[in-house]
Amino acid sequence: MGKLLALSEKHALRVDRLSVAFPHDNQLLLALDGTSFEVMRGEFVCVVGASGSGKSTLLNVLAGLDRPSAGRAHVHGRVAMIFQEANLLPWLTAAGNVELALELRGIKAPERRALAYELLARVHLVGFERRRPHELSGGMKQRVALARALAQDADVLLLDEPFAALDAISRDLLHEELERIWKESRLTVLFVTHNAREAVRLGDRVLVFTSSPGRVAHEVHVDLPRPRSLDSPDLAVIAGSITERLKHEITNGR
Ligand code: ADP
Ligand code: MG
């Protein structure tokens, strides 16, 4: 019993034969088809798959927003999620958005302001605390979203193509930022992307999904030293082989 418990404590999340079906044209559309995988505490795992392969559905189930049709998904601890759109409240400042998350956590007013400024400093937004979302660039908004996620004091961070809408330079910088925060805070990260290079840039492991319905088809351990460069030839080789697999999955699915 003690041994079993010790084993489970190493896991941050566990997905067990998870299937999710949605009603569609009087039928059921299978978004996820009996997929299983585990993520260890402190691990950075990327999920890469074509569009429609159930990646968002997977994160939604882990965050409790969608329900499994069969199987199970379990997260140990608190979850925070970051989406492609920062989804900041437009009438609040950057600091106000972070403070709201702190308030929901029960942090009392006198401490909230200082803590929000501290979190914004961690994502390099000193001087931008009082700006409203429309006064911030796309990259800055995602930094605020990251600070807000940190304010939730989560154990597991779920990211759904968070940098897909950013220019290449902002994305590069946010990769560095996220990697640094992951290392400092011992978070567990599950990062969804359709970009194989981004997955190899960030992940300890990359789970390659089948196309519609989604399931883990293949797993790649990335042993390249960190921090990695998106432009490095070693990274390109691994990403290239993942892209080949994705293409194979897409043509197989037809
Ligand atoms: P991905 O994020 O990999 O692009 P999604 O998880 O968004 O894929 O979608 C997987 C499949 O499930 C798609 O065919 C999509 O249309 C369908 N789907 C997702 N969410 C819903 C929903 N709430 N209702 C109906 N169908 C959905
Ligand atoms: Mg998606």
Q: How far is the CA of 53 from the centre of ligand 1 (A)?
A: 8
| Ligand 1 contact, 51 CB (< 6 A) | yes
CA 160 – ligand 2 centroid, Å: 7
The answer to whether 129 touches 107, Cβ cutoff 8 Å, is no
Tens of pLDDT along 99-112? 999 999 999 998 99
Residues with CB under 5 A from ligand 2 (ion): 55-56
Of ligand 1's atoms, which has the minimum distance to the CA of residue 23? 25
Ligand that comes closest to the CA of residue 58: 1
Q: How far apart are CA 103 and CA 97, in angstroms?
A: 10
* SS3 state at 121: helix
Across the range 216-234, mean pLDDT stands at: 95
pLDDT for 250: 81
Q: Angle 196-207-220 (CA atoms, 0-180°, nearest 5)?
A: 80
pLDDT, position 111 = 95
Res 2 pLDDT > 50: no
Residue of the CA atom closest to atom 21 of ligand 1:
22
- pLDDT tens sequence across 118-173: 999 999 999 999 999 999 999 999 999 999 999 999 999 999 999 999 999 999 99
- Locate the ligand 1 atom nearest the alpha carbon of residue 66 and give its number: 23
Indicate whether 196 pLDDT > 50: yes
| Distance (Å) from CA 19 to ligand 1 centroid | 12
pLDDT band at 214 (very low <50, low <70, confident <90, very high): confident
Residue in 19, 27, 56 to alter for ligand 1 test, most ligand atoms within 8 A of Cβ? 56
Q: Is the pTM of this model over 0.85?
A: yes
The tens digit of pLDDT for each residue in 78-90 reads: 999 999 999 999 9
Lateral strand order in the sheet of 27-40: 27-40, 11-24, 70-75
Confidence of residue 249 (pLDDT cuts 50, 70, 90): confident
Ligand nearest to the CA of 50: 1
Nearest CA, atom 27, ligand 1 = 22
Ligand minimally distant from the alpha carbon of residue 85 = 2
> pLDDT class for 252, splitting at 50, 70, 90?
confident
* CA distance linking residue 143 with residue 127, whole number of Å: 13
Nearest ligand, CA 31? 1
* pLDDT value at residue 1: 42
Quick check: CB of 55 below 6 Å from ligand 1? yes
Query: Given phi > 0 = left and psi -120 to 50 = alpha, else beta, which region is 213?
Result: beta
Distance 205 CA to ligand 1 centre (A): 24
pLDDT value of position 6: 53
Which pLDDT score is estimated for 212? Answer: 80
